[in-house]
């Protein structure tokens, strides 16, 4: 799941260009190399209520009737940071927000763990040609504060080689559809279509970084956290994973081909 992100652009100008929106209050922009979601820090968003503006959000959604947000965060743990898109219409924290309070969350990258047995090797995932991903999210508002969560889905082929244990990923919407996501006129069907059928066509890279990058107790907000680290065992294991997946897909194709060539009616 996506529990740490990066937003390393020194000024808000590049975000405004790519999002085609302006900061409501530019003085609140504060770049970071790494942010731990469990710190419930600031993350930025282009919201359904103001799609031409970029607002400051607090990472960690809670139910809109929550009285003690910090206590609720403790109980929810990672469930406040990520919301499974498959259940977004049925979840108390998101069932209304998915219809009325959608948000695109621009990040320059995010961190996911790759596992070999019980050992974790964090990867930084980032776009190659653009500065930002646009992650899909929802939010609730309590006392004027927007509490947001990143929507996740099953990992695509690329991300299965990165987040190889849980095989999940944040929804990275294609930039062409960023404005569509915050269109207040979307119905249930179009919302689902954007969540499940409009994966980004951005070229993406993922590489191993410091092993502390997925340690929520470490102070990783330093430039070095974005540097590539070389782990030979990861390269070897990922090559094996790809071979296994190719074999699986080839067998599946052969099976499907067999079904297609056989008539059920003789």
**Around Cβ 117, how many Cβ atoms within 10 Å?**
6
Q: Using the predicted structure, report yes or no on whether residue 260 has a pLDDT greater than 60.
A: no
Residues 213 and 263 in one domain: no
Residue pLDDT, tens place only, 195-240: 999 889 999 999 999 999 988 888 999 999 999 999 989 888 888 7
- CA pair distance 98, 192, nearest whole angstrom: 10
pLDDT, mean over the chain: 91
- The pLDDT of 21-29, averaged and rounded, is 95
Most confident of 36-40, 233-237, 250-254: 36-40
Residues 83 and 96 in one domain: yes
The tokens 């009325």 sit on which residue?
Answer: 100
Residues 181 and 109 in one domain: yes
Residue pLDDT, tens place only, 154-207: 999 899 989 988 999 999 999 999 999 999 999 999 999 999 998 899 999 999
The tokens 């998101």 sit on which residue?
Answer: 94
pLDDT value, residue 246: 62
Residues 182 and 201 in one domain: yes
Residues 187 and 249 in one domain: no
Residues 236 and 216 in one domain: no
Residues 141 and 256 in one domain: no
Residue pLDDT, tens place only, 42-70: 999 999 999 999 999 999 999 999 999 99
CATH number at residue 196: 3.90.1680.10
Residues 120 and 243 in one domain: no
**Do the beta carbons of residue 14 and residue 126 sit within 8 Å?**
no
pLDDT value, residue 216: 85
Residues 145 and 241 in one domain: no
pLDDT value, residue 248: 46
The structural domain count of the chain equals: 2
Residues 250 and 197 in one domain: no
3 state SS of 161: coil
List Cβ<8 Å contacts ≥24 apart for 152-159.
152/1, 152/2, 152/82, 152/83, 152/84, 152/85, 153/84, 153/85, 153/86, 153/195, 153/196, 156/199, 157/245, 158/204, 158/206, 159/112, 159/125, 159/206
Residues 235 and 184 in one domain: no
- CA pair distance 71, 16, nearest whole angstrom: 34
Domain that includes residue 168, residue range: 4-229
Residues 165 and 266 in one domain: no
């Amino acid at each position: 799941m996506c529990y740490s992100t990066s937003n390393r652009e020194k000024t808000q100008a590049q975000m405004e260009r790519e999002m085609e929106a302006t900061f409501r209050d530019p003085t609140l922009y504060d770049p970071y190399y790494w942010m731990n979601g469990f710190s419930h820090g600031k993350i930025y968003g282009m919201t359904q209520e103001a799609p031409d503006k970029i607002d400051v959000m607090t990472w960690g959604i809670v139910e809109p009737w929550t009285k003690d947000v910090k206590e609720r965060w403790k109980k929810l743990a990672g469930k406040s940071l990520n919301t499974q898109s498959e259940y977004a219409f049925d979840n108390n924290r998101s069932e209304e927000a998915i219809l009325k309070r959608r948000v695109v969350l621009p990040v320059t990258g995010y961190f996911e763990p790759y596992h070999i047995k019980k050992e974790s090797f964090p990867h930084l995932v980032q776009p190659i040609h653009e500065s930002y991903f646009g992650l899909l999210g929802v939010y609730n508002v309590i006392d004027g504060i927007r509490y947001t969560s990143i929507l996740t889905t099953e990992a695509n082929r690329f991300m299965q080689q990165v987040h190889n244990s849980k095989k999940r990923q944040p929804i990275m919407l294609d930039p062409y559809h960023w404005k569509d996501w915050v269109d207040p006129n979307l119905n249930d069907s179009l919302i689902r279509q954007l969540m499940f059928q409009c994966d980004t066509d951005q070229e993406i890279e993922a590489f191993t970084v410091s092993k502390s990058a997925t340690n929520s107790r470490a102070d990783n907000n330093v430039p070095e956290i974005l540097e590539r680290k070389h782990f030979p065992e990861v390269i070897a294991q990922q090559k094996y994973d790809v071979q296994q997946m190719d074999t699986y897909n080839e067998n599946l194709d052969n099976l499907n081909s067999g079904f297609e060539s056989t008539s059920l009616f003789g």
